[in-house]
Amino acid sequence: MPAAEPALLALFWIASPALPIGSFSYSEGLEAAVHAGLVHTEAHAADWLAAQLHLSLARFELPVIAAALAAWRANDLERIDELDAWVRRTRETSETRQQSEQMGRSLVEWLKTVQPEAAARVRQPVTYPVAWALAVVGSGATARDALLACAFGWAENMMQAAVKAVPLGQSAGQRILARLAGEIPAVVDHALGVDDDGRQAFAPMLAILSARHETQYSRLFRS
């Protein structure tokens, strides 16, 4: 087996929306956007998710994962604590914080089964981006490959959320996924160039929609 194949297969596994960590139960504000009438067609959903990819993942989640991956590999636990605290501070609503904490906790529980040596490195509960970086460490994957996989897993999960929430057909969902996949490489390149000073979680419309979603009358998703 070529040396790169185990790392690639590990990334497929870790990034899969089928991983039992609950990602399928979150829409990250999309359901509230549908409820508010901001997203109600395939084109709206594609534009919304593309904007979220560029404005949120590229500036927040992916840079945190890249930094955490380097810190785990260097065994810099002080840096890990710093990154984890930053994630918690920048979650603007109870929903977004609960999502990050719940998925981080669930991912570490998954690691106890498949990578117990990695799970043993966690001294206290960590948020999802920090836990995701830890899951990747043992694969030996490069930071760029890790971010590509993470971004595609996010895109696949959010496409499925759009199919359910708008609602849309499966063919529409695949067209949305194709658009997002085409934009992911540039997003990852941007994320790899973001340092601590450039990292940010400023997405006011998502925060407003998340806050509204907490009291939304009818909901399919937890965010």
pLDDT exceeds cutoff 60 at 200: yes
Q: Where does the pLDDT of residue 1 fall: very low under 50, low under 70, confident under 90, or very high at 90 and above? A: very low
Q: Is residue 24 part of a domain?
A: no
Question: CB-based contacts of 15: which residues, under 8 Å, 6+ apart?
Answer: 149, 150, 152, 153
Number of domains in the chain: 1
Alpha-carbon gap, residue 141 to 135, rounded angstroms:
11
- Contact status, residue 96 vs residue 223, Cβ threshold 8 Å: yes
Q: Is residue 32 part of a domain?
A: no
Q: Which domain holds residue 154?
A: 39-213
Mean pLDDT over 170-174 rounds to: 98
| Single-letter code of the amino acid located at 206 | L
Q: What is the pLDDT of residues 44-53, one digit of tens each?
A: 999 999 999 9
Q: Is residue 3 part of a domain?
A: no
Q: Report the CATH number at residue 137.
A: 1.10.4190.10
Alpha-carbon gap, residue 223 to 60, rounded angstroms:
18
Mean pLDDT over 160-177 rounds to: 97
Q: Is residue 15 part of a domain?
A: no
Using a pLDDT cut of 90, give the percent of the chain over it: 88
Q: Is residue 1 part of a domain?
A: no
Report the mean per-residue pLDDT for the chain.
95
Q: What is the pLDDT of residues 66-101, one digit of tens each?
A: 999 999 999 999 999 999 999 999 999 999 999 999
Alpha-carbon gap, residue 142 to 45, rounded angstroms:
31
Q: Where does the pLDDT of residue 217 fall: very low under 50, low under 70, confident under 90, or very high at 90 and above? A: confident
pLDDT exceeds cutoff 70 at 187: yes
Q: What is the pLDDT of residues 5-21, one digit of tens each?
A: 888 899 999 999 999 99
Q: Is residue 121 part of a domain?
A: yes
Q: Where does the pLDDT of residue 29 fall: very low under 50, low under 70, confident under 90, or very high at 90 and above? A: very high
The residue written with tokens 């927040």 in the block is 60
Distances in Å between the Cα of 28 and the Cα atoms of 123, 138, 144, 211, 223 are 28, 29, 24, 11, 5
Omega cis (within 30) before 185: no
Alpha-carbon gap, residue 133 to 62, rounded angstroms:
10
pTM for the complete prediction?
Answer: 0.95
Using a pLDDT cut of 70, give the percent of the chain over it: 99
Q: Is residue 13 part of a domain?
A: no
Q: Is residue 27 part of a domain?
A: no
